[in-house]
Structure 1
Amino acid sequence: MHVPDGFINAPVSIAAGVAAAGAVAVSLRGARRELDERTAPLAGLVAAFIFSVQMLNFPVAAGTSGHLLGGALAAVLVGPYTGVLCVSVVLLMQGLLFADGGLTALGVNVMNMAVVTVIVAYAVFRGLVKILPDTRRSVTAAAFTGALLSVPAAAGMFTLLYALGGTTDVPVGKVFTAMVGVHVLIGIGEAAITALTVGAVLAVRPDLVHGAGSLVTPLKLRVDGRLVDAPAAAPVRTPAPAAARSTTKIWAAGLVTALLLAGFVSFYASSSPDGLEKVAADQGIDQKVTEHAAADSPLADYGVKDISDARLSGGLAGVIGVGATVAVGSGVFWAVRRRRADGHGADDRAAASAAL
C-alpha cells in the first residue's frame, strides 16, 4: 500500500507529513517506557523482519497481490509506540533506498501503514486480551484479529486522504469500495503472518512479547500466611535460565530468517500489482503519478544496478535492505533507550538531592 508521489496533492501531503511527524514524536517519547536493554535491539530486528516480509507479495485475487503492512505485528511484539517507529523506519528505508513509496507521500504512508494500523490493531488486541483467558492461544488469536482489521482500516485512511486531496476526479465511493474490498482479502494474509510470527515467539520466549505481559507470572512471596507479589528489586537466589538472561540467540535466529526471506524467498513472491496499485490502475487514480525522486538509486525497484541476473540482483538488494534497516532501526532504538536510562539517572540524582 505504498502511495507514490502524485496520488495526493501537496497541501494534504504536507498536512499528513505534519501529522506523521507529530505521531513519530509522540512515539519516540512513549517508546522510552517500552524499551530496555533487552528489547531495544529486538525492536531493530522487528523492523528488519517487517522489511523482509514486505518483499513477499502473496496473491489474493486474479491479477492482484498483497504484502504485510506490519503495524499489528510490531505493536504486539514490541509495543504500540515502538511499533509506529518500527514501521516508520521501514518506510523511510524503502523510500530513500528502493524508490518504493513517494518521498513527498512519506507522511501519507506513515499515517496509513504505521499509525492507523498500530492504533487499530493494538486497540482490538488489548480489548480481546482483556476478555479472553490468559493463554498463548488467546494472545495469538487477539493478534490475528487485530491484524485482520488493521489492513482495511489503513485502506479507509487512504480513501479519506484521497477524498481530501486526490489529484483525479474518480468518485470517492468507488475508491472506498475497491480499496476496502481488496484489502479485506489482504488482511487475511496479514493476520496469518502476524499470528504465525507471534505464536512462534511465544513458543520460545513469551517474556519478549510485549502484548503477552499477562502470561508472565510474577514471583510470589508468603507474608503472614498470604501470597503477595515480590517487589521488583527482590533478590533472586537462583540464576535465571540462559535463555532468559540473553536475547542473542533469538536475535541471531531472527536476523538469519529475515536475510533468507529477503535474499532468497523474495524471488518467488507474486509479481502481480499490490492492492493499491491494482485499484489505482483500474479506477484511474494513477493518472498524475510522478517519477520518484530516488528513481536513479542503485537499489531502485529492489534490484542492484548493473547486475543482470534477476535472482542475484533482487537477493542482494534484499540483503542490503535488511542490513540497512536493522542498523538504522537499532541505532534509533538504542538512542531512545539511552534517553530513558539518562532520564532515570537524572530522576535518581534529583531524589538524592531532595533527600539531602
Structure 2
Amino acid sequence: MHVPDGFIDAPVSAVTGVVAAGAIAVSLRGARRELDERTAPLAGLVAAFIFAVQMLNFPVAAGTSGHLLGGALAAILVGPYTGVLCVSVVLLMQGILFADGGLTALGVNITDMAIVTTVVAYAVFRGLAKVLPRGRRSVTVASFVAALLSVPAAAVVFTLIYAIGGTTDVALPKVATAMVGVHVLIGIGEAVITALTVGAVIAVRPDLVHGARGLEQRLKLRVNGELVDAPAAEPAPAPAGRSHRKLWITGLITSLVLAGFVSFYASAHPDGLEKIAHDQGIDKKAEPHASSDSPLADYGVKDVSDARLSGGLAGVIGVGATIVVGSTVFRVVRRRRTDEMSRADTHTATGTRV
C-alpha cells in the first residue's frame, strides 16, 4: 500500500507530514515507557523482520498481490508507541534506499501504514484481551483479529485522504469498494503472518511480548477451605546462554533468509493499491521517484545482472540497514529513559538529605 509521489496533492501531503511528525514525536516519548534493556534490541529486530516480510508479496486475487503492513505485529510484540516507530523506520528505509513509496508521500504512508494500522490493531487487540480467557491462545486469536481489521482500516483511511487530496478525478465509491474488498483479502494474509509470528515468540519468550504481559496465572493455595492467591515469586533470571540473544539471532537469521532467498519466489503481481490505481486511473499523475536512480531501486542491486542474486543482495542489505537504523533509534530512546530515571533518583536522594 505504498503511496507513490503524485497521487496526493502538495497541501494534503504536507498536512499528513505534520500529522506523521507529531505522531512520531509522541511515539518517541511513549516508547521510553515500553522499552527496557531486554525489549529495546527486540524492537530493532521487529523492524528488520517487517522489512523482510514486506518483500514477500502473496497472491490475493486474479493479477493482484498483497504484503504485510506490520502495524499489528509491531504493536503486539513491542507496544503501540514503539510499533509506530518500527513501521516508520521500515517506510523510511524503503523510500530512501529502494524507491518504494514516494518521498513527498512519506507523511501519507506513515500516517496510513504506521499510525492507522498500529492504533487500530492495538485497540482491537486490547478490547479482545479484556473479554477472552487469559492465556497464550487468546493472545494469538486476538492478534489474528487485530491484524485482519487493521488492513481494511488503512484502506479506508487512504480512500479518505484521496477524497480530500487526490490528483485525479475518479469515482470515489468505486475506489472505496475496490480498496476495502482487496484489502480484506490482504488482511487475511496479514492476520495469518501476525498470529504465527506472535505465537512463535510467545512459545519461547512470552516475557518479551508486550501484548502477553500479565498472562501469568497466580498460584492458588487452599487455606481453611478457601482458595487464596499465593505470594508472588520473584522471577528467576534467564541463564546467560539462553537469554534474549538467542531469540534475536534466530530472528535475524530468519529475516535474512526471507529477504535474501525466499523473496525471489514472491508474487510478481502488483499489490492492491497498485492494481486499483491502474484500474481506476488514480496513477495518471504519478511522478517518478526521487530515488529512482538509487543503486538499490526496485529491490535490486544495480549492475548485478542475475535477478536472483540482485534481489537477494538487496534484501540482505535492506535487512542490515533497517536493523542498524532501528536499533540505533531504540537504543537512544532507551538511554533517554535511563538518564531520566537517574536524574529522578538523584533529585529524590537530594530531597531526602535536605
Aligned to 1:257: 254
Q: 1:204 corresponds to which residue?
A: 204
Q: Give the match for residue 275 of structure 2.
A: 278
Q: 2:335 aligns with which of 324, 334, 338?
A: 338
Q: CA deviation at 1:354?
A: 1.1
Rate the CA distance shift 1:164–1:243 in 2: closer, same or farther, 3 A: farther
- Work out the CA distance in 1 between the residues paired with 2:349 and 2:25: 30
Q: Which amino acid aligns with 1:178?
A: A
- Matched ranges for 1:1-356 at <5 A: 1-217=1-217, 227=229, 230=232, 240-242=237-239, 246-356=243-353
In 2: Cα distance, 1:244 partner to 1:354 partner: 41
Contact 2:219 2:229 in 1 (8 A): no
Deviation at 1:353, TM superposition (A): 1.2
SS at match of 1:287: helix
Residue identity in the other structure for 1:145: V
The code of the aligned residue for 1:114 comes to: A
Q: CA deviation at 1:44?
A: 0.1
* Contact kept in structure 1, 2:2 and 2:109, CA below 8 Å: yes
Task: Measure how far apart 1:240 and its partner are.
Answer: 2.9
Aligned residues: 350
Deviation at 1:138, TM superposition (A): 0.4
1:227 Cα deviation from its structure 2 partner: 4.4
| Contact in 2 for aligned 1:47/1:329 (Cα 8 Å) | yes
TM-aligned CA distance change 1:336 to 1:172, over 3 Å = same
- Matching residue's letter, 2:104: T
Structure 2: where are the runs of 5+ without partners? none
Identity of matched residues, %: 75
What residue ranges of structure 1 are gaps of 5+ in the alignment? Answer: none
For residue 145 of structure 2, give the secondary structure of its aligned residue in structure 1.
helix
SS at 1:214 equivalent = coil
Q: Which amino acid aligns with 1:297?
A: S
- Pairwise CA distance, 1:242: 2.0
Distance 1:221 1:24, change over 3 A: farther
SS in 2 for 1:203: helix
State the Cα distance separating 1:174 from its structure 2 match: 1.4
Aligned mates of 1:285, 1:82 — CA distance in 2: 33
Quote how far apart the aligned CAs of 1:220 are: 9.5
**What's the CA shift for 1:172?**
1.6
Per-residue deviation, residues 145-193 of structure 1 (Å, max 9, x unmatched): 0000000000011001101100000022111111111000000000000
Q: Shift of residue 214 of structure 1?
A: 2.4
TM-score with structure 1 length normalisation? 0.95
Q: Secondary structure at the match of 1:110?
A: helix
**Superposed displacement of residue 244, structure 1:** 9.4
Q: Output the CA distance in 2 between the equivalents of 1:287 and 1:297.
A: 24
TM-score normalised by structure 2 residue count: 0.95
